[in-house]
Structure 1
Amino acid sequence: MSSPYDPQHAPAGDVGAALMMIDSRLKSIHDGKDGADPEQQELIEQFAASLGPRGASDLLDGACTLIFMFVTWLRQAHEKHDKDVIEYVVPHLVSSLRMMPRSIRPEAIPTMAGLVIAASTGLSPSLWRGQYGEWTPEEMNPLEATAFLLAEHINRIADDPDFATRLITTALSSVDDA
């Protein structure tokens, strides 16, 4: 039976812009910066301000699409070793988010865990989240952090700091070619 929260019912959003933001964060961490580069932060804020309401919504959907794609890859990688992605990825995500009390409010953590669990069961994170109302400003940092942490987790598994970004760009280019 099909669910109204299946990914085929969800907008993909602006995956490219969401990936650009996550990749920028990944690169700042790997370049030895602490992620709080004021120049980079200003550029991200200018970009976000230029989006407008529709663009911001597309960016949110794009981030959720990234989460879905990252979790799908993680689920497949874990299944090859007879492991459950929820058992291995969600606790790591929750503990990582809990270590960021200045940027991640504790009440947002269950929602981010829910997004990952929804994706791991084949549901669209954006549609799953949408059933509880509009996104709140307090969920923006946790959403970005969730996508970042999943990408970083994939990069560590692959032992390649650019693997998650290439995974998505390859998928996007194969869609463009079709």
Structure 2
Amino acid sequence: MLSPYGPQHAPAGDVGAALMIVDSRLKQIYSGKTGTDAEQEALIDQFIASLGSQGADDLLDGACTLIYMFMTWLRKAHEEHGKDVIEYVVPNLVAAMRMMPKSVRPEAIPTMAGLVIAAGTGLSPSLWRNQYGDWTEQEMTALEVTAFLLAEHINRVTEDRDFATRLITEALSRSDGE
């Protein structure tokens, strides 16, 4: 039975913009810089402010699509080894977010875990989340952190710092060709 929360019912959003933000964060971390780069933060804030409300909604949907795509890849990789993606990914993700209290408010962590579990079970994270009302301010950064942590996890698993970005870029290229 198909779920009304299946990915086929969800808008993809602006996956390119969401990927750009996640990739920017990955490059910042991999460069060894500690703290935040004020110039980069200002550029990202300026970019987000320029989107308008529809663009911001598209960015949210794009981030959820990234989470779905990352979890789909992780689920398939874990299944190849007879492991459950939820069991191996969600606890590590929650633990990482709990170590980031300035970026991820504690009340946002259960929602982010729910998004990841929804994606890991084949549901659309954005449709799953939308059933609970509008996004909250605390969830904005937590959503970005969730997508970032999943991408970084994939890069660590594959021992390739660009794998997660390339995974999405190639999927986007394939979809453009169809």
Q: TM-score range, shorter-chain basis?
A: over 0.9
Deviation at 1:34, TM superposition (A): 2.3
Deviations 1:90-117 (A, max 9, x none): 0000000000011111010000000000
SS of residue in 1 equivalent to 2:78: helix
Unaligned runs of 5+ in 2: none
Take 2:35 and 2:137, find their aligned partners in 1: how far apart are those partners?
20
Corresponding residue of 1:156? 156
**Does the aligned pair in 2 maintain the 1:25–1:35 contact within 8 Å?**
no
Taking a change above 3 Å as real, the CA distance of residues 87 and 80 of structure 1, as seen in their structure-2 partners, is: same
Percent of residue pairs identical:
75
Aligned residues: 178
Provide the aligned C-alpha RMSD in A.
0.6
Corresponding residue of 1:12? 12
**Does the aligned pair in 2 maintain the 1:74–1:85 contact within 8 Å?**
yes
Take 1:35 and 1:71, find their aligned partners in 2: how far apart are those partners?
28
Unaligned runs of 5+ in 1: none
Take 2:34 and 2:101, find their aligned partners in 1: how far apart are those partners?
16
TM-score by length of 2: 0.99
Take 2:76 and 2:99, find their aligned partners in 1: how far apart are those partners?
27
Take 1:76 and 1:33, find their aligned partners in 2: how far apart are those partners?
33
**Structure 2 residue 121 is the aligned partner of structure 1 residue 121:** yes
Corresponding residue of 1:140? 140
TM-score by length of 1: 0.99
Corresponding residue of 2:50? 50
Residue identity opposite 1:101 in structure 2: P
Taking a change above 3 Å as real, the CA distance of residues 23 and 44 of structure 1, as seen in their structure-2 partners, is: same
Corresponding residue of 2:99? 99
Taking a change above 3 Å as real, the CA distance of residues 35 and 154 of structure 1, as seen in their structure-2 partners, is: farther
